[in-house]
Chains A and B, each alone.
Chain A
Amino acid sequence: MENKIEQLTEYIQKDCLWQFFSRAWDREENIEGVLNGTEALLTGPVEEATSDMDRCHMADAKVLSRAFTSSFGWIRDMNKEELHALFQGVKQRMREIVITSSHNEELHVKNY
């Protein structure tokens, strides 16, 4: 599982701009929103987005879930519980890299 978490994390690091938004709270919001959406798209059913923010996260999630299934064939063989554990792990790694262990000194500046 750890290896799989690292593979997805590496893909996100190289590809996704949403992880690098300006402040820690934006990054946290995007990690939760986009990765929960991606997990939902892979496991189903997907609830209809109720807000513009949700729709925006789902837009990123759709592109990401498509990339995951085409780049990592093993993801299709995972059941719902395994996928949930996988995405919990990816979220934790993303938080670590772009928030808690980040050297970016602007992450906690109060204003934009």
Chain B
Amino acid sequence: MPMVLLECDKDIPEREQHVYIKAEGENTTMFLPASNVATIPGTLSERGCSFCGAKLVIGAVIKDTIQLIHGPIGCAYDTWHTKRYISDNDNFQLKYAWSSGMKESHVIFGGEKQLEKSINEAFDAMPESKRMFLYTTCTTALIGDDTRAVARRVMDQRPDVDIFIIECPGFAGVSQSKGHHVLNISWMNDKVGTLEPEITSPYTINFIGDYNIQGDTFLLQEYWDRLGIQVIAHFTGNATYDELRCMHRAQLNVVNCARSAGYIANELKKRYGIPRLDMDAWGFRYMADGLRKIGAFFGIEDKVEQLIEEEYAKYKPQLDWYRERLTGKKMAIWTGGPRLWHWTRAVEEDLGVEVVAMSSKFGHQEDFEKAIARGRVGTVYIDDANEKEFFEVIDMVRPDVIFTGPRVGELVKKMHIPYINGHAYHNGPYMGFLGFVNLARDMYNAVKSPMWKLAAQDIREV
């Protein structure tokens, strides 16, 4: 089947290039949705801005760093406290956000003095923190504030602090994906290689594209510890600023989220010759195969097999209990991009769940190549879906559960369809062996809950 023009899109026919239903015998050389292109006027996108991609997704995860947003207060508030990436230092990064608090007068007369004052105030208020991520926003980029010059001046006055500049205003790209890109490349250019790590193991990796959502990083760290592997840097789950400066010393880059962080893995390969090994950290077989590859790289296959055996013994019976009860259920994945291809076969293989619709906010064509190659025939694949498309697709495929973000989640809850937070999880972590049991449990609780039927009843008629 070629690309599809949904009924709700008849007045914006360009949307046909973004919606695909896979037919038997088709592959991505025949059809591939347009993606990572500007949202078409007239369609109400679910996307975030480029600044949000840099700050909310990657930068703000770092646990010991002041996050200063040079712009009006809303840019700081709206990217604060909305995602559950925890840390082992009492969640410093979740508690605090800083803004230069731009006002109209700063726009007229320039905001650099205000920025310098804000940087100093932040370091004075947090004397333990010597590291800062400094972001430009739409307002301060448009008026041309020179954040680099201001940061240099502060660093000259305060030699013990280090400031990283991210020049990625909200309008810089078509979605949050541009923010991922800018942060990756800027970090590579400005900070990687500026500090040397202490090497404590003959086996060293960077684990790239994991943001410690509800403890994913903690769970994976247990595996690395058992295998004797030193993680030079997690990019960026539970990471410190200085760990990330040492990424050039790892022997291997293990990549989970290739969309938000593939860039830095590519650059580390190009500039330092560190190979890139992609894996799926969600799902039993995927996780086991990922560990096997790492084991093969370092020649520690026996240790890896032992770990897998222990984890299977502990968690596979629990997974199978859920599999018995979830087989045949239909699921939709409406998230950012990579979880489409990470999850579609993992839930099918491990839980017998069929993914009937996938939608990506900011995925590129590379993500759709992966999702369509792994996805089922008859499944609907959408780029940058809008609300009306969600309603129409729900009518078409009738999912039993939808993994998506809180915004779309609220929408589908009103239709009495169970929703699970596909970004920040309901009760994670979801990575690793224990994590996938958690995902299965949340799916089971959602699908089997009697609440959905009760919620549909009109209490005046009961």
Contacts and interface: CB of A to CB of B under 8 A. Distances in A.
Contacts of B374: 13-15
Contact of A62 (B29, B280, B296, B373): B296
A63 B374 CA distance: 18
Contacts of A60: 277, 293
B278 interface: yes
Nearest to A13: B373
Contacts of B60: none
A39 to B, nearest CB: 16
A21 to B, nearest CB: 7
A77 interface: no
Contacts, number: 91
Contacts of A14: 345, 373-374
A21 B369 CA distance: 11
A71 interface: no
Nearest to A101: B29
B278 A112 contact: no
A56 B253 CA distance: 10
Interface stretch (B77-85, B265-273, B420-428, B449-457): B265-273
Given A104-B369, A106-B364, A106-B366, A22 B273 contact: no
Given A101-B29, A103-B29, A106-B364, A52 B267 contact: no
Interface in B1-59: 27-29, 31-32, 36
Interface residues of B, number: 37
A17 B270 CA distance: 19
Task: Categorize the interface residue count of chain A.
Answer: 20 to 34
Contacts of B297: 55-56, 58-59
Interface string A1-37: 0000000000001110110111100100000000000
A105 interface: yes
Given A58-B296, A62-B293, A21 B276 contact: yes
Contacts of A104: 32, 364-366, 369
B280 A98 contact: no
A101 B275 CA distance: 26
Contacts of A101: 29
B273 A17 contact: no
A60 to B, nearest CB: 6
B279 interface: yes
Interface string B237-271: 00000000000000110000010001100110010
- By secondary structure, the A interface counts as helix
Given A18-B278, A63-B293, A102 B252 contact: no
Given A21-B276, A103-B32, A104-B365, A26 B266 contact: yes
A97 B29 CA distance: 6
A81 B231 CA distance: 42
Given A62-B292, A63-B292, A20 B366 contact: yes
Contact of A63 (B251, B296, B345): B296
B416 interface: no
Given A52-B251, A56-B277, A59-B296, A13 B266 contact: no
Contacts of B296: 58-59, 62-63
B278 A17 contact: yes
A82 interface: no
Most buried by A among B185, B252, B277, B279: B277
Contact of B294 (A22, A26, A52, A59): A59
Given A15-B374, A62-B293, 9 more contacts: A20-B366, A52-B275, A58-B296, A60-B293, A102-B29, A103-B32, A104-B32, A112-B185, A112-B263
Give the top 5 A-B pairs by smallest Cβ distance, nearest first: A56-B275, A17-B278, A101-B29, A59-B296, A103-B32
9 contacts: A56-B297, A59-B294, A62-B293, A97-B27, A102-B369, A103-B31, A104-B365, A105-B365, A106-B364
